[in-house]
Amino acid sequence: MTIGIRSGGECGGPAGGNAGRAVAPALLEVEVYLTNRCNLACSYCSARHIIRERDVSRLTGAQLERAVDLLAADPEVRRRYGRRVRLTFKGGEPLLEYGAMKAAIDRVRTRRLGFELALTTNGTLLTPERMDYLARNGVEVCVSIDGYKEVNDLHRRFKGADGRSVYDSVMGNLRALMGDERYRRRIHIGTTFTADTIASAPDVAEFFSRRLGFRQLKIGIEVYGLWGRAGIAALRRALRTFRERLLASLPAAAAAGRVEELFSEVQFSQYMRNLPDVRDDGARLNELAVNPLALFYDGAFYPCDLALKPPLERRYRVGDLRSGLDLRRFDEICALPRFAGLSRKCAHPSGLLSPVERCCWGIVNGYGPERMARLLENTSEVNAVFEREMGSYVRMQRDCERLFMTPGFGDFAHAPKYKGPREVRFLRVSAGKGADIVRLRASADYMLHSPGAGKTLAIDAADASALDPAESLAFYAIVKARCLGGRLLVSVRAPRGAADASRRRRFAALGVRLEETCPV
């Protein structure tokens, strides 16, 4: 039995409007480095060069209140981001300056600014009283801990080597908090794996999510060290295990109505997708342009963490707490030749490691051309492994989030209102500009829930703008068929040239056959 259903659009029409152009970042992310003090001495710390015990610097509560007021009033922030701002408090260890951070949070909430607020902490100073305040004020808390005691304490140690276990300290604090649902909703775990600990990553994820009940694990890897052949091989094995375990969990997750939870359970915190070249206002973009800004303890703004090697370099400042934020200066720095072309010099710029971030590290540390070239080569090697092993999965995460946020879509688990009473082996649907994904999903469900195991879904994409709903539908149908225990072949028919190289790779990763027809 064959059914054909159309959902808007004309076949073969040209891409309209802003098709193919990048949209400016949805919000302004500002990482606030409260202090250069820390009570730990982690071997892989990316901020280790700013840690100073004899020359302590910090932001005061008054300075942070000033920063909040500047960001709220800045006309360029309003124009570019609609005043959508996310502040992430970092350090050093930010809870060493809890009072100053509290002044900033109070300012945001009393002025009802709507800023998103987050804290990244090593967890050793996280008390129930502090967590109660953070939860009441809607602060997302990421606690850095790397796994079991032997894994965590290998690299994370208290300053002074006094013999205490960082793991015991942090886990003691977490166990005092996890009995309260208000706190559990707000706490995420952030891990950093090195070449000698990455093999434990899949089991660490199981430990925190399944045994301890944390809802999200953010996985990162050591950013600035070179990953040798053995480390990359261990990374490949760990990522493959991740993918196999997560996909094997799909049927049970669907049966329990928690597909969305499964896809949000493990996040790769440093994952960067390939970036288009232009913003919707025509300005050129590179990776540095969408990284978070940094407000350092010297009271100045910088592009990401360009200043992470003291003395903080004034030439990279993009504003301060006296004169305000200068986003035009930020644009100028992003356009400097030393930054603008870095991603293009990296064969695989998208993945766990950022070529711009790593090369910024190389620049401030005075790396020569040969060492910088090796850094980019190593970045590409690690990212290529991530793309091969996890690229399809992270795109599933993106599509799942997009569908889950679509009004009327519902979840992945529920049975449809209508399903084929007889076996439906083949279904063709047409997606056009502005296609209704809810209606397309209902069409696919009619076939998928009909009797029989082997089915084929053919999607006609009218133009480049229709490939987004086509890709989302393909993802949904493939996941749903897997959950139902059936077999599904999916093909997408689109005008020649409508799908760029990135889209082709995504379809291939999903197992979708792309058929190209008439030219755009």
The pLDDT assigned to 2 comes to 31
Could you tell me if residue 291 is inside a domain? yes
Distance CA 241, CA 234 (A): 11
Could you tell me if residue 136 is inside a domain? no
What percent of the chain is predicted at pLDDT more than 90? Answer: 45
Could you tell me if residue 232 is inside a domain? no
My answer on whether omega of the bond before 469 falls inside 30° of 0, hence cis, is: no
End position of a domain, from candidates 301, 320, 340 = 340
Of the given ranges (59-63, 328-332, 417-421), which has the lowest mean pLDDT?
A: 417-421
Instruction: Record the tokens describing residue 211, joined without a space.
Output: 């045994």
End position of a domain, from candidates 296, 311, 340 = 340
Could you tell me if residue 224 is inside a domain? no
Q: Looking at the structure, do residues 512 and 419 belong to the same domain, yes or no?
A: yes
pLDDT of 211-253, one tens digit each? Answer: 788 878 889 898 888 999 999 999 999 999 988 888 788 778 8
**CATH number of the structural domain spanning residue 427:** 3.40.50
Q: What is the DSSP string of 317-371?
A: --EETTTEE-HHHHHHHHTSHHHHTTGGGSSS-SBSS-HHHHHHHHHHTT--HHH
> Is residue 436 predicted with pLDDT exceeding 60?
yes
Could you tell me if residue 1 is inside a domain? no
The pLDDT assigned to 271 comes to 54
End position of a domain, from candidates 308, 340, 372 = 340
The pLDDT assigned to 286 comes to 58
Domain that holds residue 479: 415-519
Q: Looking at the structure, do residues 421 and 330 belong to the same domain, yes or no?
A: no
Q: Looking at the structure, do residues 332 and 426 belong to the same domain, yes or no?
A: no
Using DSSP's 3-state secondary structure scheme, residue 184 falls into helix
DSSP annotation of 208 reads I
Global confidence as pTM: 0.80
The pLDDT assigned to 27 comes to 85
Which CA distances in Å does 457 have to 335, 336, 402, 517? 45, 47, 21, 17
Q: What is the DSSP string of 465-516?
A: GGHHHHHHHHHHHHHHHHHHT-EEEEEEEEEET-S-HHHHHHHHHHTPEEEE
Give the HSE-up count for residue 3: Cα atoms under 13 Å, Cβ half-sphere: 21
The sign of the CA dihedral 92, 95, 99, 102 is: positive
Kindly state the average pLDDT of the residues 424-447. Answer: 87
Kindly state the average pLDDT of the residues 413-442. Answer: 85
Instruction: Record the tokens describing residue 126, joined without a space.
Output: 């996280």
Listed residue (377, 366, 394) closest to 242, CA to CA: 394
Could you tell me if residue 362 is inside a domain? no
The packing angle between helices 229-248 and 369-404, to 10°, is 0
Distance CA 436, CA 431 (A): 8
Q: Report the number of distinct structural domains present in the chain.
A: 2
The pLDDT assigned to 21 comes to 31
Contact 266, 277 (CB under 8 A): no
Torsion of CA 31, 34, 35, 36, to 10 degrees: 0
DSSP annotation of 316 reads G
Could you tell me if residue 378 is inside a domain? no
Pairing, β 28-33 against β 293-295: parallel
Could you tell me if residue 62 is inside a domain? yes
